[in-house]
Chains A and B, each alone.
Chain A
């Protein structure tokens, strides 16, 4: 059983945006802070630190997850994708275009989290209509009033088409 004392550091091995990373971290280091402070990936934002604002949302093993509610050590041996990694993927181009077309961001603080959630749904099962409200409900935006974001996600739904029941 892995046992780490309070002020000790534990080795952490994760794949972040396709690259393997190995560092020693305190148990209490949050994944959000690990990404930002230890890896310099500041595209992931920290808002509320209790899971409601969604700004910290990233992909962990393909699922949208709150990095502020994940201990870095809990993500050991996992695969993480942040907004920096998503930006390099082919399917991201459509997300980028849709967000641009519909003015779905102003200050951009909430945007990386929303894009991560949307990408997770698209990667998972295609962005069905009823998923849009679900995806957006987990994100707070202070600038846009959500209208442009919803329109961008609707455009992505049309673009993806209904893939139907092709997965759990």
Chain B
């Protein structure tokens, strides 16, 4: 199949892009990497009347660490570029691990960070990461700038807080303090497939191996990535295997995953239980490793 005919606009500046999106209204789709939009257009699941190609907006390609606890990625940052940036920084290994699961290297050469967040596929990896870490999304329109928290951004499958006429320009990621363990794990039937279940965890332990902070995000168990508020219930507890197992079982029980072509609900629930336990075991080992290196504990 080939895409249905569409008008093609290619703004040269961010202002032009906002003008274009206001002008075209609900009939427009933004084209960034195209690795999600083009498949839908090729199969005619999407038939925008206007495609606004933002690939000329080079100001949206920046990656920066304004401070130790924040990573800023422009909307047009290629997933491959973020992989490489993260490879050079020990504090960003979580991004490298999560991005390795996103599609294939060939799609990561074009696919963008902003595009993945704005597309909000319920089984995509970057939205899970953003939900687990926390962050802020900047939206620009002719009316000005708006910042939405990660918690409020993902509303339903493929539905986000982005309104007609708005362009996602930046994703800001909150990074945990040094010494935190960060783990991402996913189960998919083939390498590069969307996740059946994905889990991202951030964890801090004190010298007695008690949890001082924990954040947990799950993907594939709902229409949107789920933060697990119960993660805070582990604060103050030692993270041993039986506590991990009980907690993972409790998280799984709290889920009401969709049943679909790819997996029955019970399978997703079981995957969540197993992956949450493995992620926390990995995180515990990671913190232990880091503490060992610094001569603590």
B192 located at the interface, meaning its Cβ lies under 8 Å from any Cβ of chain A in the complex: yes
**Interface-lining segment among A81-89, A104-112, A133-141, A148-156:** A133-141
Chain B residues with Cβ under 8 A from A6's Cβ?
5-7, 49
B255 located at the interface, meaning its Cβ lies under 8 Å from any Cβ of chain A in the complex: no
- Which residue on chain B has the smallest CB distance to residue A26? B5
Chain A residues with Cβ under 8 A from B55's Cβ?
74
A130 to chain B, nearest CB (A): 10
From B1, B16, B38, give the contact of A71 (CB < 8 A). Answer: B38
Q: With A3-B7, A65-B110, A71-B38 given, is the CB distance from A135 to B43 under 8 Å?
A: no
B84 to chain A, nearest CB (A): 5
**Interface-lining segment among A14-22, A46-54, A92-100:** A46-54
**Interface-lining segment among B99-107, B166-174, B237-245, B281-289:** B99-107
B264 located at the interface, meaning its Cβ lies under 8 Å from any Cβ of chain A in the complex: no
From B4, B34, B84, give the contact of A74 (CB < 8 A). Answer: B34
A65 to chain B, nearest CB (A): 6
Q: How far is the CA of A146 from the CA of B189 in the complex (A)?
A: 18
B196 located at the interface, meaning its Cβ lies under 8 Å from any Cβ of chain A in the complex: no
A68 located at the interface, meaning its Cβ lies under 8 Å from any Cβ of chain B in the complex: yes
**Does A137 contact B6, Cβ atoms closer than 8 Å?**
no
Chain A residues with Cβ under 8 A from B132's Cβ?
none
From B16, B38, B103, B110, give the contact of A1 (CB < 8 A). Answer: B16
Contact with A along B1-24 (1 / 0, CB 8 A): 111111111111000100010000
Chain A residues with Cβ under 8 A from B11's Cβ?
1
**Does A30 contact B42, Cβ atoms closer than 8 Å?**
yes
Chain A residues with Cβ under 8 A from B2's Cβ?
28, 30, 33
Chain B residues with Cβ under 8 A from A28's Cβ?
2-6, 41
Those of A63-80 within 8 Å (CB) of chain B: 63-66, 68-71, 73-74
From A27, A68, A70, A137, give the contact of B8 (CB < 8 A). Answer: A27
Binding site for A on B (CB under 8 A): 1-12, 16, 20, 31, 34-35, 38-39, 41-43, 49, 51, 53, 55, 80, 84, 88, 100, 103-107, 109-110, 191-192
Binding site for B on A (CB under 8 A): 1-7, 10, 26-28, 30, 33, 49-52, 54, 57, 63-66, 68-71, 73-74, 117, 133-135, 137-138, 168
